[in-house]
Amino acid sequence: MQESAAPECSRATGDCLRAPPAGRIHHTETCGTVDGPGVRFVFFMQGCPMRCLFCHNPDSIGQSGGAAWTADEAVREALRYRNFIQGVTFSGGEPLLQPDFVAELARRLKPEGLSIAIDTAGAPDLPLCTEAINAADLLLLDIKAAGDELARKLTGYSNRRAFTTLDYCEHTGKRVWIRHVLIPGWTLKSRQLEALARRLRPYRCVELIELLPFHQLGAPKWEELGWEYSFRDVPVPSPDVIEEAADFFADMGFLVQ
Ligand code: SF4
């Protein structure tokens, strides 16, 4: 890793400034099994415009954290594990805040026989991200809430761009897995689940829904950062209610994971 310049992004708009293919990476995981199909090398990118109240990686939000990597360094690192992995996932933080870097790595890693997934909340402006999305095989799209009002309360951000990204995937035939965090008292309400199912049902590009139970593992990181964590008293959902939610989406015709 070198101290090269990394792309800068606007927290206010989520717009990325075009920059040469160098990026800021929070950390990497060599054999990830929960970020896309099979065993994957995962780049957790630094920087996110959202402020999810339940974020379990708040230390990946700020754009000056992590370390600067060149594309050459990142490609070399991922290829060290090529015999053990099926693909590479870009997660975060918000990987699409660094779209040129992600697109460059995807273009170089795909010919090596690795599938490419991008785990995004869809906050950045779509026109800046299409090259990266086009270069990926699969989008793991985090939909935080079906409705805009709840999305703004939970993330400080509209979900409009997330659905614009989903529309783009529909029109281009890009495979999508939806990721959705089940939070008691917030998203884990029948009204909210029904609204999400209704919004997602028309999309043929959606292959499955991954339901992620809210947890408290990120709480200590909020304290370390000196940030107020308002979700301290939100309970963790029981396996029974997670199963009920999964059954609901399955009954609505979705493949659920
Ligand atoms: S989108 Fe992800 S990384 Fe960004 S604030 Fe929300 S949970 Fe944290």
8 A C-beta contact, residue 209 and residue 178? yes
Q: Is residue 13 part of a domain?
A: no
pTM as predicted:
0.92
Q: Is residue 5 part of a domain?
A: no
Centre of ligand 1 to C-alpha 120, Å, is 9
> Which residue owns the Cα nearest ligand 1 atom 7?
55
The pLDDT of residue 7 is: 41
The pLDDT of residue 230 is: 96
> Which residue owns the Cα nearest ligand 1 atom 3?
93
Ligand 1 atom nearest the C-alpha of 181 is 7
Q: Is residue 7 part of a domain?
A: no
pLDDT per position as a tens digit, 194-215? 999 999 999 999 999 999 999 9
Centre of ligand 1 to C-alpha 57, Å, is 7
Above 50 in pLDDT, residue 160?
yes
The pLDDT of residue 16 is: 53
Q: Is residue 9 part of a domain?
A: no
Q: Six-digit token pair at 203?
A: 């999309």
> What's the CA gap between 183 and 256, in Å, rounded?
17
Cβ–ligand 1 contact at 154 (below 6 Å):
no
Q: Is residue 4 part of a domain?
A: no
Above 70 in pLDDT, residue 2?
no
Q: pLDDT-based confidence at 255, cuts 50/70/90?
A: very high
Domain containing residue 236: CATH number: 3.20.20.70
pLDDT per position as a tens digit, 50-108? 999 999 999 999 999 999 999 999 999 999 999 999 999 999 999 999 999 999 999 99
Q: Six-digit token pair at 161?
A: 């761009």
Q: Is residue 37 part of a domain?
A: yes
From the number of C-beta atoms within 10 Å of its C-beta (0-12, 13-18, 19+), residue 38 rates as: exposed
What is the domain range of residue 196? 21-251
Cβ–ligand 1 contact at 97 (below 6 Å):
no
Q: Is residue 214 part of a domain?
A: yes
Q: What is residue 43's three-state secondary structure?
A: strand
Cβ–ligand 1 contact at 57 (below 6 Å):
yes
Centre of ligand 1 to C-alpha 47, Å, is 9
Centre of ligand 1 to C-alpha 83, Å, is 31
The pLDDT of residue 73 is: 96
**What's the domain count of the chain?**
1
Q: Is residue 91 part of a domain?
A: yes
